[in-house]
Structure 1
Amino acid sequence: MDYEEISELDFINTLPYYRIEILNNILNHQNKIKTFKRFLLVASVVIAITIGCWSIFHINQPKSFKTNLERKGMVHVVNLNLKDKNYVLPDSSFIQLKPNTEISYDSLNFKKNRILYQLKGTSLFQVKSNMNYPFTVIANHILTTATGTEFSVENNQSKNQVIVYLIKGVVTLNSSHEHFKLNNFQLYPSQVCTLDLSNSAIHIKENAIVKSYKTTNEISKEELKNELVWTNKEIIFNKIKLRDLFIHLENHYSVKFNIVDAALNQSTITGKIYYEDSLDTIVRAICEISGLSYSIQQNQYFIKVKNKPLKLDN
């Protein structure tokens, strides 16, 4: 008997045996409905929690998690060929990508926000000059910035190194790496800079001469044999040319040094500088060691032989 179609009158007139059977069928059916409703309720709660957690995670996650490479308008250029690949950027800067090289940049506002990511490989850049909008290449946390110049950047992932070769002009190197500190380090033409992130070291090659720098606070006896050893808290120099020492101070303190007597450029000096000292204290110490004097005019340091009058060009 179909209990869904039975009327109340038929139920009353039914034999007691069938009444019991009908009631049992009704109860079983209601239990199934309740069980199914419970399942739907639990399932809806699980789905709601899952969606809620996903929303919270993606809405509240730090901006660094959403990498710049995933933004709308990002263009990826990959050279999978065995030959060099030439590419022109929206600002008319030219790139030559070596084989197995990959770069990425934001095409929506590149002319005013000239930032390019060197993901891997080696690229040669001929930057369109624009003093108002610097051109920056980011490779493994190393930022190479220029306004208009020619240089190459290699992101060597296997060795955890970034190599910058400056052909002409000037570039400034900075680091956003937590354990590799670098602040406004300038390169000059024909210099090759190897930044070794694994060993916190910087090697500058110029005219087949390599100068090594350290970005940690530890210096080995072997490193003391170098002309210049640079750490986060001090610089130790051994028979280094005065010109090179003042160039390093210019890069670190963002000031200008003028050596009035040209012969002093070839003079050498040995000593140690602590960055915790003021710049005036450092310059005074260098001058006392070398028999020099200095003066400050218009935020520039003028270095000359002691007791020699200072002559400035008009």
Structure 2
Amino acid sequence: MDKEKLDNDFEKLWNETPLSHSDNIKEDSWKQFHSQTFAKNKRVFKPWRYAAAAAILLFAGIGTGIYFNNKPQSEHVILTENVIENTTTKIKYVVLPDSSKIELSPNSKISYANNFALNRKIELIGEAYFKVKKDKQHPFQVFCDETTTTVLGTSFTIKESEKKEVTVELYEGSVQMNVKGQDQKWILKPGEKFTYANPTASVVEFSRFKDFDNENLSALSNYIEENYGYKVIIPAENLNQKITIRINKKEDLKTIVQLISEMYNLNFEINEDLKQITFQ
């Protein structure tokens, strides 16, 4: 990616920051961000950078290629060699043989073949969030009911309801949707949701961000506890410090934790056994 294209992409992301900031403030901050981003020398830490930090971090997938199959899937492949089922009441974290990651929701199941590195096809029953490892030579496909989602490297959620309605929400990258028996294909962009309720299909926008606009840091720690299941311990003197940030609702927890650490000059420790994050 050349400098001019990177410049344009960053400016586009910057313009998506919370609307409560005036255009003048956003424009001035953007110019300052731009001048330091492309500086030759290493930059020292500047707190203002984080007004748009999340938008920059969350779109690391810009430029990801995508394989589009011109022919819709006529039949689903039956994959039974490896079956992973979540019978608990909590999200189950799965790392696939190609290093792609899945958050498998309760009462959901995936299955895939033994030669997954070469045949990246998955059958899904229920709901799961996918963060796919990029591999140009081997497209990643998810079969759910009568739909097929084809990707290379991206992140998205697929959900099948009890009424056999399938929804796909795209957070990063690009995906192609096919429906069994139909010639039409749908190519989704980040922030778009595909819904298939036999026999109709539709694409609408959805909010993939969570905004914190001049809120206490404690609000962000509560968000982490509610959405990631980790208890967050922050020093009392930092709890009421203000934060303005936009994050992807499916951002990696470690990225958020590191962001807080740098913004407030705090060290942190993650205890996986206790599901606890301690800042100090």
Which is helix-richer, 1 or 2? 1
TM-score, normalised via structure 2 length? 0.45
Larger radius of gyration: 1
Tell me the TM-score normalised to structure 1 length: 0.40
